[in-house]
Amino acid sequence: MNNLRVRRQKLEARGKRGCFFASSFYLLTSSLVFFSLIGCGPKYTYPADTVTHAVEQISRDESQLSVESQVAGKTLGAILYLKDLVDAGGQVPKEVHEKMGQVMQAVTRVALSTDLPLEFCVVVIRDRKQGNELLVTRSLDDTKKAYADALGVEESINRTLFGQGHYTLPLSGKPVFRLEEVHLENFLSDQIVQRIRFNFSKDAKNSAENPLVLADGSVSETPAGRRIFHFSMIGFKSKDPKENILGMLRIVSTVFQGYKFSDFDSIELRDYLNRQKLVVDQKMFLDFQNKKISEEELLSRFLTESQSIQEAFKLFGFSLPPGSKKDSQELSKPDETSLAGKS
C-alpha cells in the first residue's frame, strides 16, 4: 500500500500543477485574437520555406526569446529552454506562463498565414537543469473556430492538449530536440483521455473514499488494417457500475462528433475497478450517435465483464498490493468479446 500511497501523492501534486495549463490557455486565446485578423488575407505573409525562420525571428524581435522552430509533416512547433520551470514553492511562475503564450503566439501567427499545409501547432518549454518539459498542442482548425466564435472558452480549453514530461539531459553540449508530427487520430485519443481525467476527477472530488481517477488511451491497427481506439480507466466505484462506461462513451461520442471523425473500425472501453468492458464497431457507434440505438440497448448487447484488477495494476504501473493476488485471480474470467454482441 505504501507504493500506492506514494504514487497517489505524486498524481495529486501533478493535479495542482495542472492549473498552469488552464491559466496559460486564457493567456493564449486573449493574446492571439489580434493575429487572427492579419492571417486571413488572400496573400501569404510567410512562404512555406520561411516558416521556421519566421517563428524564431518573431520570438526574438518581439519577445526577446531565443527559440528553435521545426516542421514535422503538418505540424509546426517551437521549443524554448528556460533556467527553471517552477519556483521554490513548486509552482509555475507567471513569467513562464507569459513566455509560453508569447511563443504560441508566434507559432500560430505564422501558421495562420502561410501556404505550407499545417494542421497542428506545438509549443515545448524545457528547463535546463532537471529535464522537465511542458507541452501545449493545438489544432489549427480549432484555433480558427475559436477566432470565429464557433467555439466557446470551455470547449476551446477541452480541445487543447496540456502535457508534461521529462527529457534526457545530455552529458555535454546542447540538448537535441526533434519535433514529432501530430496525427489526428492520436490527437483525438489524447484529448479523450484528458477529458476523461478532468471530467471524472471533478465528480470524484465529492467522494472522499476514491478521489483518484486514472485514464489511459491508445490507437492500434491490426495486420489487416483495422483501426481500433482503446480507452480504460481506474476510478471510484459508481453506485451504478455501468455509469463509468457510459461516461467514457459519451466523451468519445462528443469528441468524434465535434471533429466529424469516423475513420475507425471499433472502439473498446474498459472500467477496471467495476470490471466492465464495452466494444462497439463503427456502424453501431454511428447508430448510437444518430440516436438509432439507445444507451440501454447498446449496453445490453455489447457490455461484458472486463479483466481482473490485477491487469489494471499492471497497465497503470502499480505494484500489486500484498494479499490481493489471490482475490484478483478469483475475480478473473476468460475475456472473450464479439463485436456481434451477446447471443
Decide if 70 contacts 52 (C-beta within 8 A): yes
Task: Please give the Cα distance from 266 to 231 (Å, whole number).
Answer: 12
**C-alpha span between 7 and 14 (Å, rounded):** 11
Consecutive H or E run containing 71:
strand 67-72
Q: What is the pLDDT of residue 29?
A: 52
User: Who contacts 234 (Cβ-Cβ below 8 Å, separation ≥6)?
Assistant: 213, 214, 272, 273, 312, 316
Q: Could you tell me the three cell numbers for 211?
A: 478521489
Q: How far is CA 58 from CA 34, 74, 80, 126, 163, in A?
A: 15, 20, 13, 20, 25
> Which residue is associated with the grid cell 488575407?
41
Cβ proximity of 233 and 276 under 8 Å: no
CA distance 280 to 298: 8
Q: What is the dihedral of CA 143, 42, 78, 145, to 10 degrees?
A: 0
- 124 burial via Cβ count (<10 Å: 0-12, 13-18, 19+): buried
**pLDDT for 309:** 58
Q: Tell me which residue has cell 492571439.
A: 32
Q: Are 141 and 187 in contact (CB under 8 A)?
A: no
Q: 241 in helix, strand or coil?
A: coil
Q: Which residues, 6 or more positions from 128, have their beta carbon under 8 angstroms from its beta carbon?
A: 81, 82, 83
Output the pLDDT for position 31: 44
Q: What is the DSSP-derived secondary structure letter of residue 323?
A: T
Weakly modelled stretches of the chain, pLDDT under 50: 1-20, 22-23, 26-27, 30-31, 33-39, 210, 323-343
Please state, in angstroms and rounded to a whole number, the distance separating the CA atoms of residues 205 and 226.
38
Cell numbers linked to 306:
472486463
At 184 the three-state DSSP class reads helix
Which pLDDT value is given to residue 50?
97
Full DSSP string of 33-65: HHHHHHT-SSS-SB-GGGHHHHHHHHHHHHH--
- Using CB atoms within 10 Å of the CB of residue 322, give its burial: 0 to 12 exposed, 13 to 18 middle, 19+ buried: exposed
Cβ atoms 215, 197 nearer than 8 A: yes
Lookup result for grid cell 509549443? 123
DSSP 3-state of 80: strand
Instruction: Determine the Cα–Cα distance for residues 216 and 20; give it in Å rounded to an integer.
Output: 22
Cα–Cα distance for residue pair 117/26, rounded to 1 Å? 26
Q: Which residue has the cell 521549443?
A: 79
The one-letter code for the residue type at 114 is T
